C-alpha cells in the first residue's frame, strides 16, 4: 500500500516527497504531469535535487515510487481504467498538496483547486469504500481566514463564510476545505494551513523565486512600505514539510487542523531586530498586519528533545535578509 501524493514536482511538495522517502518506509503513488515516465522522472529529479543527490534519488524513485502520469483537471486524472483501479487499490492514505497559486486567474484556481480537489476526493472516496483509508491530509492555506486585520486567528474559527476573501486563490482553497469536510465525513482528515512559505531554516538553496524576488524589490526601495508594528507571517519550507509529514504519519494526530505559522512567540523578536536595522515608513497604510497562531506541538516537542530552540522562522528571515544585504 502507498501514500498518494499530489504536487511532488512543486516547491512544498518536494519537501513532502523527500521527507517521506527519507524518514519513512511507505511507498509513494505520485501524480505527475508528464507525457512519459522518463519526463516524469526528470521533473521529479528537478524538484528533489534540492534535498538529495542523484544516487539517493534513483534508489528511492526506483524502489518506492509509482508514478502516475496524470492531470488533476482530467476525469480520473486522465488515467486509463486499469491504472486508475490500480491507484485506488494501492492507496492507503493521501496528501493533497497540488494547487494553482495563480491569484490572478480565477479560471486556473477554479479548475485546478476545485475540480482537481474534487477528483482527489473522489479517489479517496473510492479507496475508502474499497478497503478503508488511513488518512486524508489536505494542504490548505491561512488565506482561508479571509480579509482580517489585527486579529489572532485560531484553527477552529478561521473559516467564516460572512467574510470576503483576498482573491480567487483564497476563495477556492476555502471551498476545497469545505468539500473535504463534507464529502469525506467518515475518513480521518487533517487540514494544514501554512502561512507564507519561504526559504529553509538551515540552507540557502531554493527552487522558488517569486517571494525572494518580492523581498529583493522591497529591499531595494528607499524605505519599506510597512509600519514598524506591521507583521508578515513567514515560515520556512522545511518546517512546514516536516510538520505535514510527521503529522500525516501519526496514528492519531492531536488536532484536525494545524496552522503552520510562526506564531506569536516570534513576533517580538523580529520587531526588535527589524526596528534596529531596517527603515520603515511610519505613515503608510497597512498592507500586512495579520498574525496567526500555530499549534506549537511539533516545535515544542523538538525543542524539548534537543534542548534548543529549533524553530524561529521569523527571526531567521530577518537575519538572513540582513546577512544577504536584502
**Whole-number minimum distance, CB 268 to ligand NAP, in Å?**
23
Task: Please name which of 305, 316, 306, 224 lies closest in space to residue 269, comparing C-alpha atoms.
Answer: 316
Residues of the shown chain interacting with ligand NAP in the complex, contacts defined by CB under 6 A: 6-7, 9-13, 31, 33, 71-73, 97-101, 112, 116, 139, 141, 173, 194, 196-197, 208
Angle of helix 237-249 relative to helix 11-23, nearest 10 degrees? Answer: 50
Nearer to ligand NAP, 211 or 303 (CB): 211
> Closest distance between ligand NAP and the C-beta of residue 36, in Å?
14
CB of 247 to ligand NAP, least distance (A): 15
Nearer residue to ligand NAP within complex by CB, 73 or 93? 73
In this complex, which beta carbon is closest to ligand NAP, that of residue 172 or of residue 266? 172
- Residue placing its CB nearer to ligand NAP in the complex, 60 or 174: 174
Q: Which three cell numbers stand for residue 37?
A: 515516465
Give the C-alpha separation, 278 to 61, whole Å: 45
Q: Which is nearer to ligand NAP, 115 or 280 (CB)?
A: 115
C-alpha cell at 151: 486579529
Sheet containing 189-194: order of strands: 65-69, 27-32, 2-6, 91-96, 135-139, 189-194, 257-260
- DSSP class of residue 114 equals I
Shortest distance, CB of residue 43 to ligand NAP, whole angstroms? Answer: 6
State in angstroms the smallest separation of the CB of 173 from ligand NAP.
6
Among 275, 267, 279, smallest CA distance to 315 is for: 267
Residue among 259, 95, 98 nearest 189 (CA): 95
Give the span between the Cα atoms of 291 and 143, in whole angstroms: 11
Query: CB–CB of 88/127 below 8 Å?
Result: yes
Task: Kindly tell me which of 44 and 312 has the beta carbon lying closer to ligand NAP.
Answer: 44
CA dihedral 55, 57, 63, 69 (to 10 degrees): -140
Nearer to ligand NAP, 25 or 75 (CB): 75
Residue number of the CB closest to ligand NAP reads: 10
Cα distance between residue 196 and residue 218, in whole Å: 16
Residue-by-residue DSSP string for 121-138: HHHHHHHHHHH--SEEEE
59 closest CA partner among 45, 76, 39 = 45
**Cβ nearer to ligand NAP, comparing 134 with 169:** 169
Q: What is the closest distance, in whole angstroms, from the C-beta atom of residue 259 to ligand NAP in the complex?
A: 10
Minimum distance from CB of 166 to ligand NAP (Å)?
12
Q: Alpha-carbon distance 12 to 229, whole Å?
A: 29
Query: Residue 276 CB, nearest distance to ligand NAP (Å)?
Result: 27
Amino acid at each position: 500500500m502507498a501514500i498518494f501524493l499530489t504536487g511532488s514536482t512543486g516547491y512544498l511538495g518536494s519537501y513532502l516527497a523527500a521527507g517521506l522517502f527519507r524518514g519513512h518506509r511507505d511507498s509513494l503513488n505520485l501524480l505527475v504531469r508528464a507525457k512519459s515516465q522518463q519526463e516524469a522522472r526528470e521533473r521529479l529529479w528537478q524538484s528533489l535535487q534540492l534535498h538529495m543527490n542523484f544516487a539517493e534519488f534513483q534508489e528511492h524513485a526506483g524502489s518506492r515510487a509509482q508514478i502516475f502520469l496524470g492531470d488533476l483537471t482530467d476525469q480520473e486524472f486522465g488515467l486509463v481504467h486499469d491504472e486508475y483501479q490500480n491507484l485506488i487499490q494501492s492507496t492507503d492514505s493521501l496528501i493533497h498538496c497540488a494547487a494553482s497559486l495563480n491569484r490572478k486567474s480565477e479560471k486556473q484556481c477554479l479548475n485546478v483547486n476545485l475540480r482537481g480537489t474534487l477528483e482527489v476526493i473522489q479517489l479517496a472516496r473510492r479507496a475508502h469504500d474499497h478497503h478503508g483509508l488511513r488518512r486524508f491530509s489536505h494542504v490548505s492555506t491561512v488565506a482561508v481566514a479571509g480579509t482580517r486585520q489585527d486579529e489572532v486567528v485560531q484553527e477552529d474559527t478561521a473559516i467564516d463564510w460572512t467574510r470576503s476573501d483576498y482573491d480567487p486563490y483564497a476563495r477556492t482553497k476555502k471551498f476545497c476545505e469545505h468539500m473535504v469536510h463534507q464529502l469525506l465525513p467518515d475518513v480521518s482528515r487533517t487540514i494544514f494551513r501554512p502561512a507564507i512559505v519561504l526559504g529553509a531554516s538551515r540552507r540557502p538553496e531554493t527552487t522558488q523565486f517569486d517571494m525572494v524576488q518580492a523581498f529583493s524589490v522591497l529591499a531595494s526601495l528607499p524605505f519599506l512600505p510597512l509600519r514598524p508594528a506591521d507583521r508578515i507571517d513567514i515560515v520556512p519550507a522545511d518546517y512546514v514539510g516536516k510538520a505535514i509529514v510527521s503529522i500525516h504519519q501519526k496514528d492519531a494526530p492531536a488536532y484536525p487542523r494545524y496552522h503552520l505559522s510562526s506564531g506569536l512567540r516570534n513576533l517580538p523578536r523580529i520587531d526588535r531586530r527589524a526596528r534596529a536595522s531596517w527603515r520603515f515608513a511610519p505613515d503608510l497604510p497597512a498592507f500586512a498586519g495579520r498574525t496567526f497562531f500555530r499549534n506549537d506541538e511539533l516545535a515544542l516537542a523538538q525543542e524539548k528533545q534537543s534542548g534548543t530552540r529549533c524553530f524561529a522562522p521569523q527571526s531567521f528571515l530577518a537575519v538572513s535578509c540582513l546577512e544577504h544585504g536584502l
